[in-house]
Amino acid sequence: MHFVDEATITVTAGHGGDGFLSFRREKYIPRGGPDGGDGGRGGRVFLVPDPGLNTLSVFRHARRFRAESGARGGNQNRTGARGADYSVAVPKGTMVFDAGTQELIVDMANEMGPFAIVEGGRGGRGNARFKSSTNRAPRRTSLGAPGDERELKLELRLLADIGLLGLPNAGKSTFLRAISAAKPKVAAYPFTTLAPELGVFEEGPDSSLVVADIPGLIPGAAQGAGLGLQFLRHVRRTRLLLHLIDVGNDATTDLVQSFNQITRELREFDARLSERPRWIVLNKTDLVSEIELGSIKVSLQAELEWKAPIYETSAVTGEGCRRVMRDAFLFLTREDEGSENDE
């Protein structure tokens, strides 16, 4: 399925049904009073969070959604039927903005059920509503009100516990394959990953973490260079960042520079991201000797004044990958317990 994380749609609620003009006509009651009923209310449009969806691709073709209008009122004071509501399924992590003002309307990640995005029009009044002491036989009715209409901008931000960061070709997709059943494309050239990929790390029968493989960052990503803004938003919801570094490709000086560059990109895009817990993962250790690896690790710790964990992995062979994830699981579990205690 093609990955799409932005879409613009128009949602229209149903119009209210018109009021009805009618007079009571029965045997032996030749001059019955007005009995025209009110029109039914128009249907609403709901956005429904669906955990099974992880793309907005359906909205490439379907962009307008309309609820049913209310039915016209009837005689004998019968109110018209209410218009049927319309439900639009969206991924759980969808942010919904007003397309005109860019104001955030709702974050579907916080919604447990359907969210009414537009309300149906009120039904018009039948002539029975206009009866008064001075007008016993009104011939007046009112039309149903139009339903609300809004143009919405949908922006998907994936829901993941851990985000994988790094330069293009750092081995993020291979790492994801090593720790989950996900099968992202892997090749020996930059930007193999053109869209975020999700994988699930299973620590136990009821214990798992969702990991997002983010396409490789390059200088200027915060301003849209490379795949830029198309994917940086997807690390906003993560709780831990794993920064993969290809130790088999560059000198230590280059590794420090590239690390600092990605840190700047994160800060420029969203200052909170640069403060999020981040661990270094020295990947492709199968390409260097233990002595070289030890030297790289010591140099990074000194140059970056790094206090957080540094792991050594070979995603190709799988060595060290599950250890990283088990430690991440324990770390996030302790974070959750700490949050509960604070409450």
- 3-state SS class at 201: strand
Is residue 95 within 8 Å of 104, Cβ to Cβ?
Answer: yes
pLDDT in tens, 153-202: 998 887 788 989 888 778 888 999 899 876 644 444 333 444 667 788 88
* Bridge partners, 86 (sequence order): 45
Is residue 323 within 8 Å of 242, Cβ to Cβ?
Answer: no
| Max Cα–Cα distance, the chain, nearest Å | 109
Query: If you average pLDDT over residues 98-115, what whole number do you get?
Result: 94
Same fold? 6-156, 162-342: no
Q: Where are the domains of the chain?
A: 6-156, 162-342
Which of these ranges, 11-25, 228-242, 264-278, has the smallest mean pLDDT? Answer: 228-242
Q: Is the pLDDT of residue 251 over 80?
A: no
Reported residue count of the chain is: 343
* pLDDT-above-70 percentage for the chain: 86
What pLDDT is recorded for position 58? 85
Q: How far apart are CA 154 and CA 4, in angstroms?
A: 10
6-156, CATH topology level? Spo0b-associated Gtp-binding Protein; Chain: A, (2.70.210)
Q: Is the pLDDT of residue 288 over 80?
A: yes
> What does the mean pLDDT of the chain come to?
85
Which of these ranges, 106-115, 192-201, 239-248, has the smallest mean pLDDT? Answer: 192-201
Token pair, residue 123, equals: 């039904």
* Bridge partners, 50 (sequence order): 91
- List the 207-213 sheet strands across, edge first: 197-204, 207-213, 162-165, 240-246, 278-283, 310-312
The verdict on domain 162-342 having CATH code 1.10.1760.20 is no
Token pair, residue 67, equals: 């609820």
Q: Is the pLDDT of residue 97 over 70?
A: yes
Place of tokens 């860019």: 102
pLDDT in tens, 25-81: 877 766 778 999 999 999 999 999 998 887 888 898 889 999 999 999 999 999 999
